[in-house]
Structure 1
Amino acid sequence: MATIYDVAKAAGVSPKTVSRVMNGDAPVNVRTRELVEATMDSLGYVPSSAARAMRSQRTRLVGLVTGAISGSQAAGGATGLPDLQIVQGIQRTLAESGMTLLVSDTSEPGGVPQLVRTLREHRVEGLFYVASHHQRIELPDGARAARMVLVNGFDDAGTPCVLPDDTEGQWALTAALIARGHRRIGFLTLPAALVAQGLRLEGYARALAEAGIAYDPALVVETSHSGAAQEREVLQAAIEGMLALEEPPTVLCCGNDRLAVAVYGILRAREVKVPEGMSVAGYDDYRVISETLYPQLTTMELPYGRMGEAAARLMLGELRGKKPAAIGARVLVEGELRWRDSVTPGPAAVA
């Protein structure tokens, strides 16, 4: 294996000059730099990042712990694979700054401390923890680092975090439906146990209030996570109940795109066409669903990629010596409304 001394001898320069070319810490004329770089390539010389880290006290490594890869959701559930967009956003932004991301995956919270210890042994300069969905996190003992950013989750300790702006997302979607003439807006919500449910209900109610539309509890039904069969029964009963109202809804908002798939099927079984007989909107913009349903689904994006980028920028700010993020700091990232063919203008639309 070639050494720095082999490179220096072959290039006819001093080892100090080779070091300067590798580290960029002192001026070297262009011709000499090109000669040294060409010699390193010809000899197959690879600089030791470990040795440079010992000298500079910087490894340029950042760790990340997630369950998005090997968790049960990654096998095709409602979450999992889309969450990888968070990891991609982090990696893309760090790479632009010359940082390397070390990803460790676990499907069990109990394994997090060991993964964190391993990452710290590799002298990572910071650590991300990426949750599978918007939730409160209770990290086990030993699962923290001096520089840490939570993504898609928050904790009671006030660790800096990056979250989707669920309230503004549902407000924007509901306001857009109102602007297109819909006044009776059914809302098939996520289960109450999920943090996003309360936030989105807040956005939904605010959009109605701002438009002078009364909140009707008959148009809001919580869905269930207790099993696919039971969930379908709940959805079917909810839709039948809404359609039987004296003033039925003209559009159904679904807590996520997966629910929209079931809603399409239930409406089709009742010979209600989408969007002619009932408009349907989702949430997530899980494009495997939203772009393959017919008609394609209008939905609010969960901005996973931009959340990852925001988390990386937050981490880079600390690594570059800027003022550390304050305890309790939360960065909210807004999604974009994806308007497709599943929503038609409502009765109150202006001609």
Structure 2
Amino acid sequence: MATIYDVARSAGVSPKTVSRVLNGDGPVGQRTRDKVEKAMSKLGYVPSNAARAMRSNRSGLVGLITGAISSTPSNVELSGLPELFIVQGIQRAIEPLNMTLMISDTGGRLDRVPQLMRTFAEHRVEGLIYVADYHKKVDLPDTPGIGKVVIANGYDEQGTPCVLPHDEKGQYALVSEAITKGHRRIGYLTLANALDATRLRTAGYARALADAGIAYDPALVIEADMAEPDPEVETQLLWDAIDRMLGLENPPTLLCMGNDRMAMRAYGILRSRGLNLPGDISIAGYDNYRTLAETLYPPLTTVELPYAAMGVRAAQLLMSLIREEGQAPSEPQLVSGPVCWRDSVVPLVKPNTNVTPIGRKKT
């Protein structure tokens, strides 16, 4: 393998001159530069990035740890690809910055994260982004030499700079707009209560009601999903939650679901009870998995989780830290998405009297 000294001998210059051509850290005449570059090409010389990084403390490398590759769900139509969309957003933001993104997958094993971080430190990455599989608290090891760290779709107790979805704002926007469309009895069938997203979205739901002068009714908020996936149990929970909602003396005119997958199941449950959607009851989801939301009938009103934008923001935040452009933010950077209004929610002109605990009244 050719060395810098071989290039110098072939070009008839000093090793220092070759170094100046490689690093751009000193004046070199064009004729001399051409001779050096011709010699490198002839000898097949490849510069040692590791050695250059040690000298300049700039490797041009950014590390990314994710589980998106190994844990891609088999049924994308039902679950979406949140982690992968975040990774794609990061890649789009890093690509034009003359930086190289090094991606490592956990293989679904969180115990691999410390070793992956040590490996990135050995490669002298200038910064690292850790992508959580959903909005949650994470625990990253303190790894010397790792440079700057940003967490996407998660946070930790140490206050590491992070980017999160604005769950509270999304649910607030959905419920507020539904109220302006005449809905005052709005049910909320939530994801598992243990999730941060449930806590925040429920707070947004409650705030929207309060701002409209509508009293919060605990009977209209029911946990209808599990933290650990189990389709059979989840369907049973959702059936029971809908049954309770329809059994209320004053049932809701709109059911907000924890995500689009739950909304899809609710379509079937409600129709099995003889209800027309959205004529008898409106439905809204959360996530905006377009493959699902746009193909349901009627198309599903839902809130977009801006995963790609979160990835871009995480990359931008990391680059600003690497360039030391101001102090690291003390609070999470929240990224919001729009409410995507479709035909599953209709304006309510009068109270719905067609819904009974069994289903739809016969006319």
**Secondary structure at 2:278's aligned position in 1?**
coil
* Pairs aligned (count): 347
- The answer to whether the 8 A contact 2:126-2:146 is kept is no
Q: Distance in 2 between matches of 1:143 and 1:224?
A: 40
**Secondary structure at 2:175's aligned position in 1?**
helix
Per the TM alignment, residue 197 of structure 1 is displaced from its structure 2 partner at its CA by 0.6
**Secondary structure at 2:169's aligned position in 1?**
helix
Q: C-alpha deviations, 1:38-67, integer Å up to 9, x for none?
A: 997898765443343233221011111112
**Secondary structure at 1:156's aligned position in 2?**
coil
2:288 is matched with which residue: 275, 285, 289? 285
1:310 is matched with which residue: 310, 313, 316? 313
1:243 is matched with which residue: 241, 246, 260? 246
Q: Distance in 2 between matches of 1:68 and 1:184?
A: 39
- The answer to whether the 8 A contact 2:86-2:309 is kept is yes
- The answer to whether the 8 A contact 1:185-1:250 is kept is yes
Q: Distance in 2 between matches of 1:178 and 1:13?
A: 77
Change (3 A) 1:300 1:21: farther
Which structure 1 segments of 5+ residues have no match? none
Change (3 A) 1:300 1:8: farther
- The answer to whether the 8 A contact 1:191-1:197 is kept is yes
**Structure with larger Rg:** 2
- The answer to whether the 8 A contact 1:79-1:132 is kept is no
| 123-132 vs 80-89, greater mean Cα deviation | 80-89
Q: How does 1:1-351 map to 2 (within 5 A)?
A: 23-25=23-25, 47-71=47-71, 74-76=73-75, 81-106=81-106, 107-140=108-141, 145-225=146-226, 227-326=230-329, 328-347=330-349
Per the TM alignment, residue 224 of structure 1 is displaced from its structure 2 partner at its CA by 2.7
**Secondary structure at 1:74's aligned position in 2?**
coil
Q: Distance in 1 between matches of 2:144 and 2:25?
A: 36
Q: Distance in 2 between matches of 1:116 and 1:131?
A: 15
Please tell me the root mean square deviation across aligned C-alpha atoms, in Å. 3.2
Task: Name the aligned partner's letter for residue 289 of structure 1.
Answer: L
Task: Name the aligned partner's letter for residue 315 of structure 2.
Answer: A
**Secondary structure at 1:275's aligned position in 2?**
coil
Q: C-alpha deviations, 1:313-335, integer Å up to 9, x for none?
A: 11111111223415x43111111
Change (3 A) 1:79 1:27: farther
Task: Name the aligned partner's letter for residue 135 of structure 1.
Answer: K
Task: Name the aligned partner's letter for residue 254 of structure 1.
Answer: M
Per the TM alignment, residue 35 of structure 1 is displaced from its structure 2 partner at its CA by 9.9
Q: C-alpha deviations, 1:174-206, integer Å up to 9, x for none?
A: 111112221111111111111111110100010
**Secondary structure at 2:238's aligned position in 1?**
helix
**Secondary structure at 2:302's aligned position in 1?**
strand
Task: Name the aligned partner's letter for residue 55 of structure 1.
Answer: R
Which structure 2 segments of 5+ residues have no match? 352-363
Q: Distance in 2 between matches of 1:138 and 1:333?
A: 22
Q: Distance in 2 between matches of 1:195 and 1:143?
A: 30
Per the TM alignment, residue 85 of structure 1 is displaced from its structure 2 partner at its CA by 1.2
TM-score (norm 1): 0.86
TM-score (norm 2): 0.83
